[in-house]
Amino acid sequence: MKLVRKDLEKDNAGQVTLIPEEPEDMWHTYNLLQVGDSLRASTIRKVQTESSTGSVGSNRIRTTLTLCVETIDFDSQACQLRVKGTNIQENEYVKMGAYHTIELEPNRQFTLAKKQWDSVVLERIEQACDPAWSADVAAVVMQEGLAHVCLVTPSMTLTRAKVEVNIPRKRKGNCSQHDRALERFYEQVVQAIQRHINFEVVKCVLVASPGFVREQFCDYMFQQAVKTDNKLLLENRSKFLQVHSSSGHKYALKEALCDPAVTSRLSDTKAAGEVKALDDFYKMLQHEPDRAFYGLKHVERANEAMAIDTLLISDELFRHQDVATRARYVKLVDSVRENMGTVRIFSSLHVSGEQLGQLTGVAAILRFPVAELSDESSSEED
């Protein structure tokens, strides 16, 4: 994301002008937009024209509109963002108050104005404009006949390719059909890796599977690379890391990211940090439940006692339509930071973020036990 201009007043009202450069920047933009904001961008509008003879025609005209945002629709797979709202600025083609939909896309500048820019939104702009926050982990999660090639960015897990090949069972005395199908499957996965993984950016490629599938696949891939003198794969061989997963489905990626060998290799990536924080929370919940809370009310009470060491919170909560509720989450984040606690904002598009969402989207690891709170929560549950 490129920051073109930032004009904020003392009361944090104002506007920023941004250019999304990567598909992931569209996810950041989705999280910046809120209902009631003002969005200015170039768009195409169908305009009816009447000629001197009285005949009516229609032309598609490019114009710049300023909308008051009403609905925001994000397609996570295509990374497309559609924003619908009413026109709030004079325009020769569009009446004031008329509805229009702007499609935001990479490399198209837009200006976003808010009555109040909170700390969470401003932090997201900083992260989005930091070039170090790019997709530096790739993963191939596979089982016989099924593979998902994913990019693990700091904000989302993107499925770039799904490979499915029907593998016949081995028959006694005749394995040729099985072996041929398996080879065809491996070849398609190799092609998907070469097509979708940018080895200049990616630091590590996880190959995860149950059983021996990952070893057999990697043996096949590098044997073929030697035969065909595939320099791309041979030069990046050290980036491939084999780990166990329970299946070839996307959800099994969390297990692969939890592997100690992986976390040490990915120690400088945000994705690994989120997985570790969630893992630490579950361990604390199991062994010292007085130091692991979840649910907004209990986490807020723990924060009042200045007990929060690490706050885990889903970015989904900051997209809440109710301004007061959203402000409550922002206040919690600011307060934990003021009390020298660590805040980890999880992406709801990450597997770890999905899991945190099942725990109400907010959880905390405490510095010290807060027994009366945990007693209160258990009595409420009873």
CATH fold of the domain at 2-133: SH3 type barrels. (2.30.30)
In the DSSP assignment, the letter for residue 68 is: E
282-332: pLDDT as tens digits: 999 999 999 999 999 999 999 999 999 999 999 999 988 788 898 899 999
Q: Would the pLDDT of 131 be above 60?
A: no
Read off the tokens for 104. Answer: 């935001």
CA dihedral 318→130→351→217, nearest 10 degrees, is 170
Q: Where in the chain is the domain with CATH 3.30.1330.30?
A: 271-366
Q: Strand 38-50 to strand 110-114: parallel, antiparallel, or no bridges (unpaired)? A: antiparallel
- pLDDT tens readout for residues 160-189: 899 999 988 877 767 788 889 999 999 999
- The residue-averaged pLDDT of 362-375 equals 81
Question: Band of the pLDDT at 271, cuts 50, 70, 90?
Answer: low
Task: Indicate the SS3 state at residue 85.
Answer: strand
| Residue 292 β-bridge partners | 365
Q: Residues of CATH 2.30.30.870 domain(s) within the chain?
A: 2-133
Which pLDDT value is given to residue 370? 84
* Rounded Cα distance, 345 and 319, in Å: 13
Specify the pTM: 0.61
CATH 3.30.420.60 intervals, the chain: 137-268
Please provide the size of the chain in residues: 382
Assign domain 271-366 to a CATH class.
Answer: alpha beta
CATH topology for the 137-268 domain:
Nucleotidyltransferase; domain 5 (3.30.420)
Residue 21 phi/psi, 5-degree rounding, is -110, -25
Do 117 and 13 form a contact (C-beta atoms < 8 A)?
yes
What is the C-alpha to C-alpha distance for residues 373 and 381, in angstroms, rounded to an integer?
Answer: 12
- 221 three-state secondary structure: helix
Nearest to 364 by CA among 297, 296, 317, 299: 299
